[in-house]
């Protein structure tokens, strides 16, 4: 059996892969999905603790001939233990033989590909002239989403940040100011952040029985809202007020409905893959309120991991392990 390449988190981060490259990879993958060239079952999961999850996320992108699986967990109490909320491993396989090619840390992949997927959605659904971006939840995903949105929204000037932990919002504010030279206002309430924004990202922990706070009347005409936390932040009335609802994967969203999520979300959702592939229209009016429900997809992980694998082989990074 051939050796497997092992890449630690430090190995992955040290390759210097750009967010812009990941955005381009994901845009191509979503187009392939819209053309029916992706095999990706809804992710099965186990839930050892309340509001925790451990998911298996397999995908095969036929047009690129890339196959793999991510084994990823989210435990909301972990930060109080000094551990990350999200952790996991990524496995790439040889599509011709099924033999594992690489095992790598999935933390960087999950963070960066999630932001890149938001950027792909924004490219097709947000107004390019938007200047004010709000975050509800200011952890790792806020940073990666800001990095990615700064690539596709060149006129950004202001960030509005809210987190139930003021210290998290303050740390994120410093990041936005130092990394992107943007004005960042730390807001005292979600309403203060959302009412002033043309772009909104909600990035709080995913809860089975949430108490969402984001109201319909806070959403200004022309807004683009991307939810990374299922329906944990956005009220049913706010979803209903959207002129266009879409998801990165409608089939997976319907799968989650069967498990009790998205009960207040209308059943009129378009698929981002269809929009990127040109099979469905995206934003049609500048004043339309658009919401994208981004669940996080295995196709995003495998194409990002494939780029990492190629870069690592070129750079001689990581180490080979015998099975």
> What pLDDT was estimated at residue 233?
97
* pLDDT band for position 165 (cuts 50, 70, 90): very high
Give CA 157 to chain center in angstroms: 22
Distances (CA, A) of 167 to 139, 183, 187, 297: 10, 18, 12, 30
Residue with tokens 């309403």: 191
* pLDDT band for position 7 (cuts 50, 70, 90): very high
Give the DSSP letter of residue 218: G
Distances (CA, A) of 110 to 95, 228, 296, 304: 22, 12, 8, 9
> What pLDDT was estimated at residue 315?
97
| Cα distance between residue 111 and residue 107, in whole Å | 6
Given 70, 123, 208, 281, which residue is catalytic? 70
Active-site annotation holds for 70: yes
Tens-place pLDDT, residues 243-293? 999 999 999 999 999 989 998 899 999 999 999 999 999 999 999 999 999
* pLDDT band for position 314 (cuts 50, 70, 90): very high
Question: In this structure, are residues 271 and 319 in contact, taking their beta carbons and an 8 Å threshold?
Answer: no
> What pLDDT was estimated at residue 43?
86
> What pLDDT was estimated at residue 259?
87
Given a cut of 80, whether residue 194 has pLDDT beyond it is yes
Q: Model's pTM, two decimal places? A: 0.94
Contacts of the segment 38-41: beta carbons below 8 A, 24+ positions apart: 38/62, 38/273, 38/299, 40/249, 40/297, 40/298, 40/299
Strand 100-105 and strand 86-93: pairing? antiparallel
Q: Which domains does the chain have, with CATH numbers?
A: 4-110+299-321 (3.30.1780.10), 117-297 (3.40.50.720)
Given a cut of 90, whether residue 91 has pLDDT beyond it is yes
* pLDDT band for position 142 (cuts 50, 70, 90): very high
> What pLDDT was estimated at residue 319?
97
> What pLDDT was estimated at residue 208?
86
Tens-place pLDDT, residues 212-238? 999 999 999 999 999 999 999 999 999
Q: Summarize the confidence of residues 35-45 as an average pLDDT.
A: 94
| Cα distance between residue 65 and residue 201, in whole Å | 32
320: which 2 tokens?
A: 């080979």
| Cα distance between residue 85 and residue 181, in whole Å | 28
Q: Lowest-confidence range among 62-71, 127-136, 203-212?
A: 203-212
Entry field: residues in the chain = 323
* pLDDT band for position 299 (cuts 50, 70, 90): very high
């Amino acid at each position: 059996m051939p050796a497997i390449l092992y890449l630690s988190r430090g190995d992955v981060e040290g390759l210097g892969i750009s967010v812009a490259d990941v955005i381009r990879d994901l845009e191509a993958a979503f187009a392939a999905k819209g053309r029916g060239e992706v095999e990706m079952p809804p992710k099965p999961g186990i839930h050892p603790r309340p509001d925790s999850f451990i998911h298996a996320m397999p995908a095969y992108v036929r047009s690129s001939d890339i196959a793999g699986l991510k084994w990823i967990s989210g435990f909301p109490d972990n930060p109080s233990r000094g551990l990350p909320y999200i952790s996991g491993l990524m496995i790439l396989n040889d599509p011709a033989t099924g033999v594992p090619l690489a095992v790598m840390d999935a933390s960087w992949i999950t963070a960066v590909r999630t932001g890149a997927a938001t950027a792909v959605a924004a490219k097709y659904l947000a107004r390019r002239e938007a200047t004010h971006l709000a975050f509800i939840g200011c952890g790792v995903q806020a940073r990666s989403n800001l990095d990615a949105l700064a690539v596709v929204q060149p006129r950004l000037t202001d960030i509005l940040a809210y987190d139930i932990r003021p210290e998290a919002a303050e740390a994120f504010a410093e990041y936005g100011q130092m990394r992107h030279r943007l004005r960042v206002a730390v807001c005292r309430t979600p309403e203060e952040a959302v009412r002033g924004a043309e772009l909104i990202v909600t990035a709080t922990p995913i809860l089975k029985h949430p108490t969402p706070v984001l109201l319909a009347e806070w959403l200004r005409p022309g807004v683009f809202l991307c939810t990374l936390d299922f329906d944990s932040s956005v009220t049913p009335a706010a979803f209903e007020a959207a002129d266009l609802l879409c998801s990165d994967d409608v089939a997976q969203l319907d799968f989650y409905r069967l498990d009790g999520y998205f009960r207040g979300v209308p059943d009129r959702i378009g698929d981002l893959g269809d929009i990127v592939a040109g099979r469905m229209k995206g934003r049609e009016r500048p004043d339309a309120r658009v919401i994208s429900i981004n669940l996080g997809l295995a196709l995003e992980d495998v194409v990002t991991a494939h780029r990492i694998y190629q870069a690592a082989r070129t750079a001689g990074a990581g180490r080979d392990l015998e099975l």
